[in-house]
Chains A and B, each alone.
Chain A
Amino acid sequence: MNKAQRTRKRKIAAALMPPLLAACALFGLTTGSVSIPLREIGAVLLHGSSSEHAVILLEVRLPRVLIGLLTGACLAASGAILQGIMRNPLADPGIIGVSAGGGLAAVIALVLLPQWSYLLPPAAFVGAFAAALLIYGLSWDRGASPVKIVLAGVAVNALLGAVMNGIMVFHSDRIQAVIPWLSGGLNGRSWKHLGFMLPYALLGLALTALAVKPANLLALGDQSAKLLGQRVELQRMLLLALAALLAGAAVSVAGLVGFVGLVVPHAVRLLIGEDYRYLLPVSAFAGGALVVVADTIARSWFDPVELPVGILLACVGAPFFLYLLKKRSHWR
Protein backbone atom coordinates (compact mmCIF):
# COMPACT_ATOMS: atom_id res chain seq x y z
CA MET A 1 0.00 0.00 0.00
CA ASN A 2 1.50 3.35 -0.94
CA LYS A 3 0.55 6.76 0.36
CA ALA A 4 -1.99 7.59 -2.36
CA GLN A 5 -3.71 4.22 -1.99
CA ARG A 6 -3.78 4.62 1.74
CA THR A 7 -5.31 8.09 1.54
CA ARG A 8 -7.96 6.84 -0.87
CA LYS A 9 -8.81 3.85 1.29
CA ARG A 10 -9.06 6.00 4.40
CA LYS A 11 -11.39 8.42 2.66
CA ILE A 12 -13.58 5.65 1.33
CA ALA A 13 -13.72 3.96 4.74
CA ALA A 14 -14.57 7.21 6.52
CA ALA A 15 -17.29 8.04 4.00
CA LEU A 16 -18.73 4.54 4.03
CA MET A 17 -18.94 3.95 7.76
CA PRO A 18 -21.97 6.10 8.71
CA PRO A 19 -24.19 4.83 5.84
CA LEU A 20 -23.05 1.26 6.51
CA LEU A 21 -23.95 1.60 10.16
CA ALA A 22 -27.32 3.13 9.28
CA ALA A 23 -28.02 0.33 6.82
CA CYS A 24 -27.15 -2.32 9.40
CA ALA A 25 -29.33 -0.61 11.99
CA LEU A 26 -32.26 -0.55 9.57
CA PHE A 27 -31.68 -4.21 8.75
CA GLY A 28 -31.92 -4.89 12.47
CA LEU A 29 -35.09 -2.85 12.83
CA THR A 30 -36.93 -4.35 9.87
CA THR A 31 -35.98 -8.00 10.32
CA GLY A 32 -37.34 -10.44 12.84
CA SER A 33 -40.18 -12.84 13.42
CA VAL A 34 -42.41 -10.02 12.22
CA SER A 35 -40.97 -8.00 9.39
CA ILE A 36 -41.65 -4.33 9.55
CA PRO A 37 -41.27 -2.44 6.27
CA LEU A 38 -38.98 0.57 6.11
CA ARG A 39 -41.84 2.93 5.35
CA GLU A 40 -43.59 2.01 8.57
CA ILE A 41 -40.38 2.47 10.56
CA GLY A 42 -40.11 5.99 9.24
CA ALA A 43 -43.71 6.68 10.16
CA VAL A 44 -43.36 5.28 13.66
CA LEU A 45 -40.11 7.08 14.38
CA LEU A 46 -41.35 10.40 13.03
CA HIS A 47 -45.00 10.50 14.04
CA GLY A 48 -45.34 7.89 16.73
CA SER A 49 -47.98 5.18 16.70
CA SER A 50 -49.41 2.67 19.08
CA SER A 51 -49.81 -0.21 16.65
CA GLU A 52 -48.42 -3.62 17.49
CA HIS A 53 -45.53 -2.99 15.09
CA ALA A 54 -44.73 0.28 16.81
CA VAL A 55 -44.51 -1.47 20.16
CA ILE A 56 -42.20 -4.16 18.77
CA LEU A 57 -40.11 -1.50 17.13
CA LEU A 58 -39.82 0.93 20.01
CA GLU A 59 -39.81 -1.44 22.97
CA VAL A 60 -37.91 -4.38 21.55
CA ARG A 61 -35.93 -3.77 18.42
CA LEU A 62 -34.73 -0.21 18.79
CA PRO A 63 -33.09 -0.62 22.21
CA ARG A 64 -31.68 -3.93 21.12
CA VAL A 65 -30.15 -2.45 17.99
CA LEU A 66 -28.69 0.44 19.95
CA ILE A 67 -27.22 -1.92 22.54
CA GLY A 68 -25.79 -4.01 19.72
CA LEU A 69 -24.18 -0.94 18.19
CA LEU A 70 -22.60 0.15 21.45
CA THR A 71 -21.49 -3.36 22.37
CA GLY A 72 -19.80 -3.88 19.03
CA ALA A 73 -18.21 -0.44 19.04
CA CYS A 74 -16.85 -0.90 22.57
CA LEU A 75 -15.51 -4.39 21.96
CA ALA A 76 -13.86 -3.44 18.69
CA ALA A 77 -12.25 -0.34 20.18
CA SER A 78 -11.15 -2.32 23.22
CA GLY A 79 -9.59 -4.97 21.01
CA ALA A 80 -7.82 -2.38 18.86
CA ILE A 81 -6.31 -0.77 21.96
CA LEU A 82 -5.30 -4.07 23.55
CA GLN A 83 -3.61 -5.21 20.34
CA GLY A 84 -1.69 -1.95 20.30
CA ILE A 85 -0.51 -1.85 23.90
CA MET A 86 0.32 -5.53 24.09
CA ARG A 87 1.87 -5.37 20.64
CA ASN A 88 0.01 -8.53 19.95
CA PRO A 89 -2.39 -9.06 17.11
CA LEU A 90 -4.07 -11.89 19.01
CA ALA A 91 -5.13 -9.70 21.92
CA ASP A 92 -8.88 -9.55 22.28
CA PRO A 93 -10.81 -8.84 25.46
CA GLY A 94 -12.50 -12.23 25.12
CA ILE A 95 -9.36 -14.24 24.48
CA ILE A 96 -7.01 -12.80 27.06
CA GLY A 97 -9.43 -12.83 29.96
CA VAL A 98 -10.39 -9.18 30.25
CA SER A 99 -14.01 -9.96 29.44
CA ALA A 100 -13.91 -12.95 31.77
CA GLY A 101 -12.75 -10.66 34.58
CA GLY A 102 -15.63 -8.35 33.85
CA GLY A 103 -17.92 -11.36 33.57
CA LEU A 104 -16.92 -12.77 36.93
CA ALA A 105 -17.44 -9.44 38.64
CA ALA A 106 -20.80 -9.14 36.94
CA VAL A 107 -21.84 -12.65 37.98
CA ILE A 108 -20.91 -11.86 41.55
CA ALA A 109 -22.98 -8.69 41.33
CA LEU A 110 -25.92 -10.49 39.71
CA VAL A 111 -25.94 -13.38 42.17
CA LEU A 112 -25.04 -11.68 45.40
CA LEU A 113 -26.50 -8.22 44.90
CA PRO A 114 -29.35 -8.78 42.45
CA GLN A 115 -31.25 -5.69 43.55
CA TRP A 116 -28.42 -3.37 42.52
CA SER A 117 -28.30 -4.14 38.84
CA TYR A 118 -27.17 -0.64 37.96
CA LEU A 119 -23.87 -1.57 39.58
CA LEU A 120 -23.21 -4.06 36.78
CA PRO A 121 -21.13 -1.80 34.51
CA PRO A 122 -18.82 -0.46 37.23
CA ALA A 123 -18.44 -3.96 38.64
CA ALA A 124 -17.63 -5.30 35.19
CA PHE A 125 -15.13 -2.51 34.66
CA VAL A 126 -13.36 -3.25 37.94
CA GLY A 127 -13.29 -6.96 37.14
CA ALA A 128 -12.02 -6.38 33.62
CA PHE A 129 -9.33 -3.99 34.79
CA ALA A 130 -8.22 -6.34 37.56
CA ALA A 131 -7.98 -9.20 35.09
CA ALA A 132 -6.07 -7.02 32.64
CA LEU A 133 -3.61 -5.98 35.36
CA LEU A 134 -3.20 -9.57 36.47
CA ILE A 135 -2.45 -10.78 32.96
CA TYR A 136 -0.16 -7.88 32.33
CA GLY A 137 1.70 -8.45 35.60
CA LEU A 138 2.08 -12.17 34.94
CA SER A 139 3.53 -11.63 31.52
CA TRP A 140 5.77 -8.72 32.48
CA ASP A 141 9.46 -9.29 32.11
CA ARG A 142 11.13 -6.01 31.20
CA GLY A 143 8.31 -5.60 28.70
CA ALA A 144 5.27 -7.76 28.24
CA SER A 145 6.04 -10.40 25.67
CA PRO A 146 3.14 -11.11 23.33
CA VAL A 147 3.28 -14.86 23.67
CA LYS A 148 3.32 -14.68 27.45
CA ILE A 149 0.33 -12.35 27.42
CA VAL A 150 -1.71 -14.83 25.47
CA LEU A 151 -0.59 -17.75 27.63
CA ALA A 152 -1.26 -15.83 30.85
CA GLY A 153 -4.59 -14.75 29.39
CA VAL A 154 -5.59 -18.30 28.63
CA ALA A 155 -4.75 -19.39 32.16
CA VAL A 156 -6.52 -16.45 33.79
CA ASN A 157 -9.48 -17.01 31.51
CA ALA A 158 -9.75 -20.63 32.61
CA LEU A 159 -9.43 -19.74 36.27
CA LEU A 160 -12.02 -16.99 36.12
CA GLY A 161 -14.37 -19.29 34.22
CA ALA A 162 -13.97 -21.94 36.93
CA VAL A 163 -14.71 -19.44 39.69
CA MET A 164 -17.74 -18.24 37.75
CA ASN A 165 -19.06 -21.77 37.36
CA GLY A 166 -18.36 -22.45 41.01
CA ILE A 167 -20.42 -19.48 42.09
CA MET A 168 -23.25 -20.62 39.90
CA VAL A 169 -23.18 -24.14 41.33
CA PHE A 170 -23.35 -22.84 44.88
CA HIS A 171 -26.09 -20.38 44.05
CA SER A 172 -28.01 -22.49 41.59
CA ASP A 173 -31.27 -20.96 42.80
CA ARG A 174 -30.27 -17.57 41.49
CA ILE A 175 -28.66 -18.36 38.18
CA GLN A 176 -31.82 -17.85 36.17
CA ALA A 177 -30.79 -14.24 35.82
CA VAL A 178 -27.26 -15.17 34.85
CA ILE A 179 -27.67 -17.82 32.19
CA PRO A 180 -28.98 -15.73 29.30
CA TRP A 181 -26.45 -13.09 30.09
CA LEU A 182 -23.53 -15.52 30.15
CA SER A 183 -24.05 -16.96 26.72
CA GLY A 184 -23.36 -13.58 25.24
CA GLY A 185 -26.55 -12.40 23.75
CA LEU A 186 -28.91 -9.51 23.48
CA ASN A 187 -32.13 -11.47 24.09
CA GLY A 188 -34.57 -9.42 26.08
CA ARG A 189 -32.29 -6.41 26.41
CA SER A 190 -34.31 -3.27 26.81
CA TRP A 191 -34.04 0.47 27.42
CA LYS A 192 -33.13 -0.24 31.04
CA HIS A 193 -30.01 -2.10 29.96
CA LEU A 194 -29.15 0.58 27.46
CA GLY A 195 -29.32 3.07 30.32
CA PHE A 196 -26.84 0.97 32.36
CA MET A 197 -24.19 0.83 29.74
CA LEU A 198 -24.68 4.11 27.91
CA PRO A 199 -22.65 6.45 30.15
CA TYR A 200 -19.73 4.03 30.40
CA ALA A 201 -19.75 3.21 26.71
CA LEU A 202 -19.94 6.84 25.64
CA LEU A 203 -17.23 7.86 28.08
CA GLY A 204 -14.99 5.05 26.88
CA LEU A 205 -15.57 5.77 23.21
CA ALA A 206 -14.94 9.48 23.73
CA LEU A 207 -11.68 8.75 25.58
CA THR A 208 -10.39 6.75 22.62
CA ALA A 209 -9.64 10.12 21.02
CA LEU A 210 -6.96 10.58 23.68
CA ALA A 211 -5.63 7.08 23.09
CA VAL A 212 -4.63 7.75 19.50
CA LYS A 213 -1.24 9.35 19.97
CA PRO A 214 0.05 7.10 22.76
CA ALA A 215 -1.14 4.01 20.88
CA ASN A 216 0.59 5.13 17.70
CA LEU A 217 3.84 5.80 19.54
CA LEU A 218 3.72 2.47 21.36
CA ALA A 219 3.44 0.81 17.96
CA LEU A 220 7.04 1.90 17.33
CA GLY A 221 8.12 -0.34 20.21
CA ASP A 222 8.69 0.44 23.88
CA GLN A 223 12.28 1.45 23.37
CA SER A 224 11.55 3.92 20.59
CA ALA A 225 8.57 5.36 22.44
CA LYS A 226 10.73 5.94 25.51
CA LEU A 227 13.42 7.57 23.43
CA LEU A 228 10.74 9.88 22.07
CA GLY A 229 10.02 11.03 25.59
CA GLN A 230 6.95 8.91 26.30
CA ARG A 231 6.21 7.55 29.76
CA VAL A 232 5.54 4.14 28.36
CA GLU A 233 4.53 2.26 31.51
CA LEU A 234 2.08 4.94 32.60
CA GLN A 235 0.55 5.27 29.18
CA ARG A 236 0.17 1.56 28.84
CA MET A 237 -1.55 1.36 32.22
CA LEU A 238 -4.00 4.12 31.26
CA LEU A 239 -4.73 2.51 27.92
CA LEU A 240 -5.25 -0.80 29.68
CA ALA A 241 -7.78 0.90 31.95
CA LEU A 242 -9.54 2.36 28.93
CA ALA A 243 -9.69 -1.02 27.20
CA ALA A 244 -11.12 -2.50 30.41
CA LEU A 245 -13.71 0.28 30.65
CA LEU A 246 -14.84 -0.40 27.09
CA ALA A 247 -14.89 -4.17 27.54
CA GLY A 248 -16.64 -3.76 30.90
CA ALA A 249 -19.37 -1.60 29.38
CA ALA A 250 -20.00 -4.22 26.71
CA VAL A 251 -19.81 -7.23 29.02
CA SER A 252 -22.11 -5.69 31.64
CA VAL A 253 -25.06 -5.79 29.28
CA ALA A 254 -24.24 -8.17 26.45
CA GLY A 255 -22.39 -10.81 28.47
CA LEU A 256 -19.45 -12.70 27.06
CA VAL A 257 -19.43 -11.78 23.39
CA GLY A 258 -16.12 -12.84 21.93
CA PHE A 259 -14.05 -12.25 18.84
CA VAL A 260 -15.50 -8.87 17.83
CA GLY A 261 -12.43 -7.21 19.31
CA LEU A 262 -10.21 -9.56 17.35
CA VAL A 263 -11.85 -9.78 13.96
CA VAL A 264 -12.91 -6.18 13.44
CA PRO A 265 -9.66 -4.30 14.15
CA HIS A 266 -7.81 -6.86 12.06
CA ALA A 267 -10.04 -6.48 9.07
CA VAL A 268 -9.86 -2.71 9.41
CA ARG A 269 -6.07 -2.83 9.64
CA LEU A 270 -5.88 -4.81 6.45
CA LEU A 271 -8.05 -2.26 4.71
CA ILE A 272 -6.75 1.08 5.92
CA GLY A 273 -3.54 0.47 7.83
CA GLU A 274 -2.50 0.79 11.45
CA ASP A 275 -2.77 4.50 12.16
CA TYR A 276 -4.96 4.73 15.26
CA ARG A 277 -6.48 8.01 14.10
CA TYR A 278 -8.42 5.96 11.58
CA LEU A 279 -8.18 2.51 13.06
CA LEU A 280 -10.08 3.35 16.25
CA PRO A 281 -13.12 5.17 14.84
CA VAL A 282 -13.48 2.91 11.82
CA SER A 283 -13.17 -0.19 14.04
CA ALA A 284 -15.82 1.19 16.38
CA PHE A 285 -18.23 1.78 13.53
CA ALA A 286 -17.52 -1.58 11.93
CA GLY A 287 -17.81 -3.39 15.27
CA GLY A 288 -21.19 -1.83 15.89
CA ALA A 289 -22.36 -2.80 12.42
CA LEU A 290 -21.08 -6.37 12.80
CA VAL A 291 -22.79 -7.03 16.11
CA VAL A 292 -26.13 -5.61 14.96
CA VAL A 293 -26.10 -7.67 11.77
CA ALA A 294 -24.94 -10.81 13.57
CA ASP A 295 -27.57 -10.36 16.27
CA THR A 296 -30.30 -9.82 13.72
CA ILE A 297 -29.29 -12.95 11.86
CA ALA A 298 -28.96 -14.92 15.09
CA ARG A 299 -32.46 -14.03 16.26
CA SER A 300 -34.30 -14.31 12.92
CA TRP A 301 -32.77 -17.09 10.84
CA PHE A 302 -33.25 -19.85 13.38
CA ASP A 303 -36.82 -18.93 14.23
CA PRO A 304 -38.39 -19.96 16.58
CA VAL A 305 -35.08 -20.36 18.41
CA GLU A 306 -33.17 -17.20 19.23
CA LEU A 307 -29.50 -17.95 18.99
CA PRO A 308 -27.33 -15.82 21.32
CA VAL A 309 -25.21 -13.56 19.11
CA GLY A 310 -22.05 -14.65 20.95
CA ILE A 311 -22.44 -18.15 19.54
CA LEU A 312 -22.73 -16.89 15.99
CA LEU A 313 -19.77 -14.56 16.38
CA ALA A 314 -17.65 -17.34 17.85
CA CYS A 315 -18.48 -19.52 14.85
CA VAL A 316 -17.08 -16.80 12.59
CA GLY A 317 -14.35 -15.54 14.91
CA ALA A 318 -12.71 -18.74 16.08
CA PRO A 319 -11.75 -19.92 12.57
CA PHE A 320 -10.48 -16.41 11.87
CA PHE A 321 -8.30 -16.55 14.99
CA LEU A 322 -6.88 -19.88 13.87
CA TYR A 323 -6.26 -18.48 10.42
CA LEU A 324 -4.29 -15.60 11.93
CA LEU A 325 -2.32 -17.99 14.07
CA LYS A 326 -1.41 -20.04 11.04
CA LYS A 327 -0.72 -17.18 8.67
CA ARG A 328 1.69 -15.37 10.95
CA SER A 329 3.76 -17.84 12.85
CA HIS A 330 6.78 -15.57 13.32
CA TRP A 331 5.60 -13.68 16.39
CA ARG A 332 8.12 -13.44 19.12
Chain B
Amino acid sequence: MTAIETNELRLTAGVFRLSGVSITVPVGQITAIVGPNGSGKSTLLKLIAGLLAPGGGSIVIHGKPLAGYKRAELARELSMLPQSGETLPELTVRELAAYGRSPYHGPFSRRLNAEDEQAIDWALERMNLRRHEDRMARTLSGGERQRALIAMALAQKTGILLLDEPTTYLDIAHQLDLMRVLSGLNREYGLTIVMVLHDLQQAAAFCGHLIAVKEGAVVARGAPQAVITPHFLKAVYDIDAKVRFDEAYPLIIPLLRPEL
Protein backbone atom coordinates (compact mmCIF):
# COMPACT_ATOMS: atom_id res chain seq x y z
CA MET B 1 0.00 0.00 0.00
CA THR B 2 1.26 3.46 -0.79
CA ALA B 3 0.84 6.57 1.31
CA ILE B 4 2.09 9.00 -1.29
CA GLU B 5 2.50 8.55 -4.99
CA THR B 6 3.79 11.14 -7.40
CA ASN B 7 3.59 10.72 -11.11
CA GLU B 8 5.79 12.60 -13.59
CA LEU B 9 5.84 15.61 -11.28
CA ARG B 10 7.25 18.69 -12.96
CA LEU B 11 8.00 22.19 -11.76
CA THR B 12 10.00 25.06 -13.17
CA ALA B 13 10.89 27.91 -10.86
CA GLY B 14 13.53 30.23 -12.25
CA VAL B 15 16.61 28.17 -13.06
CA PHE B 16 15.42 25.30 -10.90
CA ARG B 17 13.58 22.41 -12.55
CA LEU B 18 11.93 19.29 -11.28
CA SER B 19 11.66 17.00 -14.27
CA GLY B 20 9.24 14.14 -14.15
CA VAL B 21 9.62 12.90 -10.58
CA SER B 22 7.75 9.68 -9.88
CA ILE B 23 8.06 8.24 -6.40
CA THR B 24 6.03 6.01 -4.14
CA VAL B 25 6.15 6.25 -0.37
CA PRO B 26 5.08 3.05 1.41
CA VAL B 27 2.58 3.27 4.25
CA GLY B 28 3.89 2.78 7.78
CA GLN B 29 7.55 3.19 6.90
CA ILE B 30 10.17 5.85 7.34
CA THR B 31 11.36 7.16 4.01
CA ALA B 32 14.41 9.37 3.64
CA ILE B 33 14.89 11.76 0.76
CA VAL B 34 18.56 12.52 0.23
CA GLY B 35 20.57 14.40 -2.34
CA PRO B 36 22.95 17.30 -2.76
CA ASN B 37 22.01 20.87 -1.85
CA GLY B 38 19.67 22.38 -4.41
CA SER B 39 18.66 19.02 -5.84
CA GLY B 40 14.95 19.54 -5.25
CA LYS B 41 14.38 17.55 -2.05
CA SER B 42 12.59 20.33 -0.19
CA THR B 43 10.70 21.31 -3.30
CA LEU B 44 9.43 17.78 -3.63
CA LEU B 45 8.27 17.79 -0.02
CA LYS B 46 6.52 21.14 -0.49
CA LEU B 47 4.75 19.88 -3.57
CA ILE B 48 3.50 16.83 -1.66
CA ALA B 49 2.29 19.05 1.18
CA GLY B 50 0.44 21.29 -1.25
CA LEU B 51 2.59 24.31 -0.43
CA LEU B 52 3.65 24.64 -4.06
CA ALA B 53 1.58 24.01 -7.15
CA PRO B 54 3.19 21.60 -9.61
CA GLY B 55 3.74 22.60 -13.23
CA GLY B 56 2.57 19.16 -14.33
CA GLY B 57 2.08 15.60 -13.18
CA SER B 58 0.00 14.34 -10.28
CA ILE B 59 0.22 13.60 -6.58
CA VAL B 60 -1.92 11.02 -4.82
CA ILE B 61 -2.21 10.98 -1.02
CA HIS B 62 -3.80 7.92 0.59
CA GLY B 63 -5.41 6.96 -2.69
CA LYS B 64 -6.94 10.34 -3.45
CA PRO B 65 -5.52 13.02 -5.76
CA LEU B 66 -4.03 15.96 -3.87
CA ALA B 67 -6.08 18.35 -5.96
CA GLY B 68 -9.24 16.74 -4.58
CA TYR B 69 -8.40 17.61 -0.98
CA LYS B 70 -9.65 20.70 0.79
CA ARG B 71 -6.90 22.38 2.81
CA ALA B 72 -8.28 21.35 6.19
CA GLU B 73 -8.97 17.85 4.95
CA LEU B 74 -5.38 17.50 3.77
CA ALA B 75 -4.17 18.79 7.14
CA ARG B 76 -5.94 15.84 8.77
CA GLU B 77 -4.11 13.38 6.51
CA LEU B 78 -0.69 14.94 6.32
CA SER B 79 1.34 17.20 8.60
CA MET B 80 4.75 18.70 8.04
CA LEU B 81 7.64 20.25 9.88
CA PRO B 82 8.97 22.93 7.52
CA GLN B 83 12.61 23.90 7.44
CA SER B 84 13.30 26.03 10.49
CA GLY B 85 13.12 29.74 9.92
CA GLU B 86 9.96 31.49 11.03
CA THR B 87 10.18 33.18 14.40
CA LEU B 88 7.54 31.87 16.74
CA PRO B 89 4.90 34.17 18.15
CA GLU B 90 4.73 34.70 21.88
CA LEU B 91 3.09 31.42 22.86
CA THR B 92 3.56 28.70 25.41
CA VAL B 93 4.64 25.30 24.17
CA ARG B 94 1.19 23.91 24.89
CA GLU B 95 -0.54 26.74 23.00
CA LEU B 96 1.72 26.05 20.05
CA ALA B 97 0.86 22.36 20.08
CA ALA B 98 -2.82 23.29 20.38
CA TYR B 99 -2.62 24.98 16.97
CA GLY B 100 -2.21 21.50 15.60
CA ARG B 101 -5.92 20.99 16.26
CA SER B 102 -6.91 23.78 13.86
CA PRO B 103 -7.76 21.42 10.97
CA TYR B 104 -10.49 19.91 13.13
CA HIS B 105 -12.25 23.20 13.76
CA GLY B 106 -13.88 25.87 11.69
CA PRO B 107 -12.00 29.08 10.95
CA PHE B 108 -13.61 30.91 13.89
CA SER B 109 -14.26 28.48 16.73
CA ARG B 110 -11.62 28.50 19.41
CA ARG B 111 -12.83 26.06 22.06
CA LEU B 112 -10.83 22.88 22.45
CA ASN B 113 -12.79 19.73 23.25
CA ALA B 114 -11.71 16.68 25.23
CA GLU B 115 -10.43 14.95 22.11
CA ASP B 116 -8.28 17.98 21.31
CA GLU B 117 -6.82 18.08 24.81
CA GLN B 118 -6.06 14.39 24.58
CA ALA B 119 -4.28 14.78 21.26
CA ILE B 120 -2.25 17.70 22.61
CA ASP B 121 -1.29 15.76 25.75
CA TRP B 122 -0.24 12.82 23.64
CA ALA B 123 1.82 14.95 21.24
CA LEU B 124 3.63 16.73 24.07
CA GLU B 125 4.18 13.44 25.85
CA ARG B 126 5.69 11.83 22.79
CA MET B 127 8.05 14.74 22.24
CA ASN B 128 9.07 14.79 25.93
CA LEU B 129 7.73 18.28 26.36
CA ARG B 130 5.17 17.81 29.11
CA ARG B 131 7.35 19.48 31.72
CA HIS B 132 8.02 22.40 29.39
CA GLU B 133 4.42 22.90 28.32
CA ASP B 134 3.97 26.21 30.13
CA ARG B 135 7.25 27.67 28.98
CA MET B 136 7.21 30.34 26.29
CA ALA B 137 8.18 28.72 22.99
CA ARG B 138 10.67 31.48 22.27
CA THR B 139 12.78 30.56 25.27
CA LEU B 140 13.33 27.00 24.05
CA SER B 141 16.69 25.76 22.81
CA GLY B 142 17.03 24.76 19.17
CA GLY B 143 16.35 21.10 19.86
CA GLU B 144 13.35 21.79 22.09
CA ARG B 145 11.95 24.23 19.60
CA GLN B 146 12.16 21.61 16.88
CA ARG B 147 10.37 19.13 19.14
CA ALA B 148 7.67 21.67 19.97
CA LEU B 149 7.00 22.21 16.27
CA ILE B 150 6.86 18.47 15.71
CA ALA B 151 4.42 18.23 18.64
CA MET B 152 2.20 20.71 16.81
CA ALA B 153 2.33 18.50 13.71
CA LEU B 154 1.64 15.37 15.80
CA ALA B 155 -1.39 17.00 17.40
CA GLN B 156 -2.87 17.06 13.90
CA LYS B 157 -3.18 13.28 14.27
CA THR B 158 -2.33 12.59 10.66
CA GLY B 159 -1.24 9.34 9.10
CA ILE B 160 1.67 10.99 7.30
CA LEU B 161 4.35 13.23 8.77
CA LEU B 162 6.78 15.09 6.51
CA LEU B 163 9.94 16.61 7.96
CA ASP B 164 12.24 18.95 6.07
CA GLU B 165 15.76 18.59 7.46
CA PRO B 166 14.67 18.02 11.03
CA THR B 167 18.20 17.35 12.29
CA THR B 168 20.32 19.81 10.34
CA TYR B 169 20.78 22.35 13.12
CA LEU B 170 20.97 19.93 16.04
CA ASP B 171 24.00 18.47 17.75
CA ILE B 172 24.51 14.73 17.47
CA ALA B 173 22.88 13.90 20.81
CA HIS B 174 19.73 15.82 19.89
CA GLN B 175 19.81 14.35 16.40
CA LEU B 176 19.83 10.81 17.73
CA ASP B 177 17.22 11.70 20.30
CA LEU B 178 14.90 13.01 17.63
CA MET B 179 15.48 10.06 15.32
CA ARG B 180 14.71 7.66 18.16
CA VAL B 181 11.48 9.48 19.01
CA LEU B 182 10.46 9.43 15.36
CA SER B 183 11.14 5.75 14.89
CA GLY B 184 9.18 5.08 18.09
CA LEU B 185 6.21 6.89 16.61
CA ASN B 186 6.57 4.93 13.41
CA ARG B 187 6.80 1.60 15.23
CA GLU B 188 4.02 2.13 17.74
CA TYR B 189 1.47 3.99 15.66
CA GLY B 190 2.39 2.99 12.14
CA LEU B 191 2.97 6.65 11.32
CA THR B 192 4.25 7.11 7.79
CA ILE B 193 7.26 9.42 7.95
CA VAL B 194 9.04 11.11 5.07
CA MET B 195 12.06 13.23 5.82
CA VAL B 196 14.66 15.15 3.95
CA LEU B 197 18.03 14.32 5.46
CA HIS B 198 21.60 15.27 4.81
CA ASP B 199 23.08 12.61 7.05
CA LEU B 200 23.35 9.37 5.10
CA GLN B 201 24.21 7.40 8.22
CA GLN B 202 21.00 8.38 9.94
CA ALA B 203 19.09 7.82 6.76
CA ALA B 204 20.48 4.30 6.63
CA ALA B 205 20.10 3.56 10.33
CA PHE B 206 16.57 4.80 10.85
CA CYS B 207 14.84 4.74 7.49
CA GLY B 208 13.54 1.66 5.72
CA HIS B 209 13.28 3.34 2.38
CA LEU B 210 15.54 5.80 0.65
CA ILE B 211 14.97 8.08 -2.32
CA ALA B 212 17.88 10.00 -3.82
CA VAL B 213 17.25 13.13 -5.84
CA LYS B 214 19.73 14.95 -8.02
CA GLU B 215 19.15 17.95 -10.27
CA GLY B 216 15.40 17.62 -9.98
CA ALA B 217 15.19 13.93 -10.85
CA VAL B 218 15.12 10.69 -8.87
CA VAL B 219 18.41 8.84 -9.31
CA ALA B 220 18.10 5.97 -6.84
CA ARG B 221 15.55 4.35 -4.56
CA GLY B 222 15.26 1.29 -2.35
CA ALA B 223 16.50 -0.08 0.95
CA PRO B 224 19.41 2.07 2.21
CA GLN B 225 21.77 -0.87 2.68
CA ALA B 226 21.33 -1.80 -0.94
CA VAL B 227 21.35 1.71 -2.31
CA ILE B 228 24.31 3.31 -0.55
CA THR B 229 27.28 2.10 -2.57
CA PRO B 230 30.42 3.72 -3.96
CA HIS B 231 28.66 3.93 -7.29
CA PHE B 232 25.73 5.75 -5.64
CA LEU B 233 28.03 8.25 -3.92
CA LYS B 234 29.75 8.98 -7.20
CA ALA B 235 26.47 9.35 -9.06
CA VAL B 236 24.64 11.48 -6.50
CA TYR B 237 27.33 13.51 -4.75
CA ASP B 238 30.20 13.13 -7.19
CA ILE B 239 32.56 11.82 -4.51
CA ASP B 240 34.88 8.85 -4.62
CA ALA B 241 34.53 6.83 -1.45
CA LYS B 242 34.54 3.38 0.01
CA VAL B 243 31.45 2.22 1.88
CA ARG B 244 31.42 -0.34 4.70
CA PHE B 245 28.45 -1.15 6.85
CA ASP B 246 28.86 -1.49 10.60
CA GLU B 247 25.47 -2.91 11.62
CA ALA B 248 22.97 -0.49 10.06
CA TYR B 249 25.48 2.35 9.85
CA PRO B 250 27.37 2.93 6.63
CA LEU B 251 30.94 4.06 7.04
CA ILE B 252 31.76 6.36 4.19
CA ILE B 253 35.46 6.78 3.71
CA PRO B 254 36.36 9.33 1.06
CA LEU B 255 39.22 8.48 -1.25
CA LEU B 256 41.17 11.69 -1.15
CA ARG B 257 42.33 12.79 -4.51
CA PRO B 258 45.89 14.13 -4.44
CA GLU B 259 45.98 17.90 -4.60
CA LEU B 260 46.86 19.09 -8.03
Residues of A within 8 A of B (CB): 1-3, 6, 210, 212-214, 216-217, 219-221, 223-224, 226-231, 235, 273-275, 277
Stretch at the interface among B4-12, B72-80, B240-248, B252-260: B72-80
Smallest CB-CB separation from A231: which chain B residue?
B71
Of the candidates B73, B74, B75, B102, the one having the most CB atoms from chain A within 10 angstroms of its own CB is: B102
As a 0/1 sequence over residues 75 to 112 of chain B, the CB contacts with chain A under 8 angstroms (1 = contact) are 11001101001101111100000011011000111100
Residues of chain B from 196 to 244 with CB closer than 8 A to chain A in the complex: none
Q: A213-B110, A219-B89, A223-B86 are in contact. Are A228 and B99 (CB under 8 A)?
A: yes
Measured CA separation A216–B108 after assembly (Å):
11
* Residue from B74, B89, B139 within 8 A of A216 (CB atoms): B89
Chain A residues with CB under 8 Å of B73's CB are 229
Q: Residue of A at shortest CB range from B72?
A: A229
Question: What are 18 A-B contacts defined by CB distance under 8 Å?
Answer: A1-B136, A2-B136, A6-B90, A210-B108, A213-B107, A220-B89, A220-B99, A221-B85, A223-B82, A226-B50, A226-B71, A228-B152, A228-B156, A229-B73, A229-B76, A231-B71, A273-B90, A274-B89
Given contacts A3-B92, A229-B72, A230-B107, contact A223 B100 (CB under 8 A): no
| Chain B residues at the A interface, C-beta cutoff of 8 Å | 49-51, 71-76, 79-80, 82, 85-86, 88-92, 99-100, 102-103, 107-110, 134-136, 139, 152-153, 156
Residues of A within 8 A of B92 (CB): 3
Q: Is the CB of B75 within 8 A of A228?
A: yes
Residues of A within 8 A of B85 (CB): 221
Give B250 Cβ to nearest chain A Cβ, in Å: 32
Given contacts A1-B90, A217-B102, contact A227 B110 (CB under 8 A): no
Whether B156 pairs with A212 at a CB distance below 8 angstroms is no
Contacts of A1 in B (CB 8 A): 90, 136
Contact B86 A217 (CB under 8 A): no
B204 to chain A, nearest CB (A): 28
Chain A residue contacts of B75, Cβ below 8 A: 227-229
Give every chain B residue within 8 A of A217 (Cβ-Cβ): 99, 102
Q: Which residues of A contact B80 (CB under 8 A)?
A: 227
**C-alpha gap A228/B102 in the complex (Å):** 6
Contacts of B135 in A (CB 8 A): 2-3
Give the shortest distance, in Å, between B86 (CB) and chain A (any CB).
Answer: 4
A235 near B107 with CB under 8 A, answer yes
B90 touches A230 (CB 8 A): no
List chain B residues, Cβ under 8 A from A3.
92, 134-136
